[in-house]
Structures are given as structure tokens and as C-alpha cells.
Amino acid sequence: MTAKPLKNRKDSPSVSYHRVSDEEAGQRLDNFLLRVMKGVPKTRIYRAIRRGEVRVDGGRAAASRKLGAGEAVRLPPLRRPETEALRSPDAARKAILGRIIFEDERLLAINKPSGMAAHGGSGVSFGAIELMRQARPDLAYLELVHRLDRETSGCLLFAKRRSALRSMHERLRENAVEKCYLALLAGRLDTGERRVDAALVTNLRRGGERMVGVDPDNGKRSVSTFRSVQAYPAATLAEVRIETGRTHQIRVHAAHIGHPVVGDEKYGNRALNRDFRRLGLKRMFLHAQSLSFERPGGGETLCISAPLQSQLRELLDRLEAADSGGLR
């Protein structure tokens, strides 16, 4: 069933109605509105819900209301900001198309660059999801399957169908998605694997800054496994596999075992970060290398890989060539 706008009724000519499709069914009303009313500030959308300007089958509805297939959603004439600052530049839209590393009828994946947010908010007008929606207006449905920190590069997965999103979220809950990262860690990590099972708690404050920390009593269980790939004089390239997906999990676990991620300004070693900046590292060295999972709608295993970006490859080449006195 394809969703089509309904003909306007007795409302103002600028009011429109949207029939909920099978793919859209099950979404919360607020998430649905944030998607179909792109560019409207989130605060304005929630105010419209509270005031009853948004209606479902003629009645008021809470933001948490789950929509059903065939229901008619009244969309009020909410004004979008007209400033150029809220429009993604053409160059950025074109660039994100060049970052697509996988696409089929259900899923799409990009190699997200460091510095790009997964989604807008908190002072960021446009993230990867907003850019991709603008770059691919042919896609009637597009949602993030998961998130990456703004500073982390690599595999970022989108769902092109509601059914695919539900299927992937189920796999994530069941720990049926293998997530592999590459991280450059401070110091020499022991050979072999090191499993870190340390509960994490969010919303800690340090100097007014939001932090994540290890808290065995109040935190949520978090598990990461580190494996040394290549040792350098002052750092170790490690492969990291995570069984859970907590905020800043790899970064906090790495710092917890005494080997923070190089370039991490929040949890890292500032002196070492300065040394690596002199070598050309202008970002955090954490890269989502691959995702492996059973393909939605089929039984085959899908593995999506994202190549390291040139800045990280070039740094590794410099480290390979450096002698033991090259870094402190």
C-alpha cells in the first residue's frame, strides 16, 4: 500500500491529510511527523500535537500514539524556517551519494565521515539522515537503523522500508548483528583478545560536560572485545567487537583499561593527542569497519565493509615508517 496525501477537507487550503501506509504503520506519531514535515523545528511539531492541530482520524492524539495502516493524519500548515542555514548545501547532498557503499531494495549503507552527525539536533541542522533524504527524494521511506558518534567514521545503515527497520532492530536487540571497529589505542595493548565487561552509566557531569562512565552498581551491562592488530611505538591498532551498543562504549572501555582512543578529546590522553596532531591526525581514530547480519527477507549473511578514510590510512603509513624515537 502506497501512502498518498488525501484531498483537503473543510480546513484551510494549506492543511493536508496523509494516509498511513503499511510501511509507516507502527511508527510513533511524533517520529512520523518529524519525517514527513522535514525542516519544521521539533519544538513546533510537539506544540502542534499538544494543541490538537495534528489529528488522527479526526481526533486528538498523543505524541507516543502508534499509527495504524489506513489512518488519516491531519497535517497543519506549519511554517518551515526560510534561512539558507537550514538548507543542506548542494555539495553536501552530492557528496553523501558518493559515500553509498551498499544498497538493495530494503537497506542502504554509507561510509560516514568523521565530523558528520548521524542526525540533526543539538545545534546540528543536518545530519546524515537529513542529507540522504534530500539527496534521494525517490525514497518514500528512509530511517536510521542505528547511530554512530559524530566523531566516528564508517558503516552507517539506513532502512528503506518500515519492515526492514523492525527486522534490523530485532536483530540488534538479539545481538545478531556483528559490529566490528578499528581503533588506534594509546600505548601497547597485549597480544590476543581482551574482553571488557564493564557496566556504563550516562549523564555524568564533569565541568558541565555530559560524560559516560563505568559504574558496576548503577550502569547498564556493556561488553567490548579488543584484539591487537598492529603495534606501533606509542600506540596499537586494534579491532574492536561490541556485544552491546551503549553511548561512547568503545571510547569509555578503552580509557577504562588504560588505552584510550587516540584523538579522543573527551576521554583520551591530551599529551598523546597533541603528538598525533603533529603527525597529521585531525580527528579521533575510531572507524566502524563492518556490519554482518542475516539479510532481512532472506537467509543469506550480509557483510558490509567501509574502507578507512585517507587521513587514517596515511597516518598508519607514517607510523609504519617511523622509528621507535618518532613519538614519545
Residues annotated catalytic, as ranges: 149
Alpha-carbon distance of 158 to 151, in angstroms, equals: 19
First CA to last CA distance, the chain? 62
Q: Which neighbouring-strand residues pair with 294? A: 301
| Sign of torsion over alpha carbons 182, 185, 187, 193 | negative
Torsion on CA atoms 82, 83, 88, 91, rounded to nearest 10: 120
Phi, psi of 77 (to 5 degrees): -80, 75
Grid cell listed for 316: 598508519
Q: Which neighbouring-strand residues pair with 179? A: 242, 291
Alpha-carbon distance of 63 to 208, in angstroms, equals: 30
Q: CB of 15 within 8 A of CB of 78?
A: no
Which DSSP category does 242 fall into? E
Q: CB of 242 within 8 A of CB of 183?
A: no
Residue 198's identity, in one-letter code, is A
Q: CB of 263 within 8 A of CB of 229?
A: no
Alpha-carbon distance of 308 to 112, in angstroms, equals: 11
Alpha-carbon distance of 267 to 301, in angstroms, equals: 35
Q: Which neighbouring-strand residues pair with 157? A: 109
> Residue 254: helix, strand or coil by DSSP?
helix
Alpha-carbon distance of 26 to 239, in angstroms, equals: 37
**CA nearest neighbour of 56 among 19, 109, 105, 3:** 19
